[in-house]
Amino acid sequence: MKTKKYANPQYIGDPINAVKIFNDLESDELVFLDIDAANEGRTISIDLVRQIGDEAYMPFGVGGGIKDVKTAADLIAAGAEKVILNTAFVENPNLVTDVALRLGNQSVVVAIDVNKTLFGSHYVFTKNGQKKTNIQPIEAAQKAIELGAGELILNFVPNDGMMTGYNLELIKTISSAVSIPVVASCGAGTLEHMKDAVLAGAHAIAAGSMFVYHGARRGILINYPSRVELINTFSNLYENNSHE
């Protein structure tokens, strides 16, 4: 499914078929999030994760309703490289530490969903972006590190599915305040948007709509940039950084 601003999910296709296509397109990494799991009191299907693991040629992370260490370990055993905690990070912060101790920091990712209030303030939201907390993004990011997370996924809900670019100021603020990799998400529409996110401080960049839609009418066509396109977009950036 693909959403806009975490609402109105549109059916894209069977996830296993999508994995096969992304295999052929040589994508770098995949993320699978069961967006309804936390609200429905369940966990992403371990059987589905096992099927994905059987098909995927690349590393992948999974999330959705993970509430205990055993489930996290079972998901890793099923083939996932990383487990992604979102609602549980807020409701049961010690779970991040417990999973990190069991599986290693590199296997624990905290996803921070950021939204803004009517007054323009930014806060962390849970339950697929539906429940506001009183936690500010930078506070959440620093707490995640203290608890043992090895990576952050930074989602800005108002930009989800809009394909108009990332929230660069948010990326800059969070990435400059933490010592672990920050993956920018929500808003990619072009490779230039991704380059902007890296320049803002993101260690990696994620996209959804950009890789499943094509053209102004947003026709469903799973796609991924070629190596040549990626090299042409990012080579100068990394060449410049190598001299610093």
The pLDDT confidence band at residue 217, using thresholds 50, 70 and 90, is confident
Q: What is the 3-state secondary structure (H, E, C) of the chain?
A: CEEECCEEEECCCCHHHHHHHHHHCCCCCEEEECCCHHHHCCCCCHHHHHHHHHHCCCCEEEECCCCCHHHHHHHHHCCCCEEEECHHHHHCCHHHHHHHHHHCHHHEEEEEEEEECCCCCEEEEECCCCEECCCCHHHHHHHHHHHCCCEEEEEEHHHCCCCCCCCHHHHHHHHCCCCCCEEEECCCCCHHHHHHHHHCCCCEECCCHHHHEECCCCEECCCCCCHHHHHHHHHHHHHHHHCC
Assign domain 2-242 one CATH number from 3.40.50.2300, 3.20.20.70, 3.30.1180.20, 3.40.50.300. Answer: 3.20.20.70
How high is the pLDDT of residue 242?
Answer: 46
Q: What is the mean pLDDT of the chain?
A: 95
pLDDT per residue over 11-38, tens digit each?
999 999 999 999 999 999 999 999 999 9
pLDDT at 119: 86
Known catalytic residues? 113
Long-range contacts of 42-49 (CB under 8 A, 24+ apart): 43/67, 43/71, 44/75, 46/71, 46/74, 46/75, 46/78, 48/15, 49/75, 49/78, 49/79, 49/80
Q: Which residues pair with 111 in a beta bridge?
A: 153
Lowest mean pLDDT among 17-21, 24-28, 211-215, 236-240: 236-240
pLDDT > 70: what percent of the chain?
97
Query: Is residue 71 predicted with pLDDT exceeding 90?
Result: yes
pLDDT for res 239:
60
pLDDT tens column, 82-95: 999 999 999 999 99
The torsion defined by the Cα of 222, 57, 72 and 182, in degrees rounded to 10, comes to: -70
Give the pair of three-digit tokens for residue 147: 């608890």
| Band (238; pLDDT cuts 50, 70, 90) | low
Q: What does the domain layout of the chain look like in residue ranges?
A: 2-242
pLDDT of residue 240: 56
Span 138-157, average pLDDT? 98
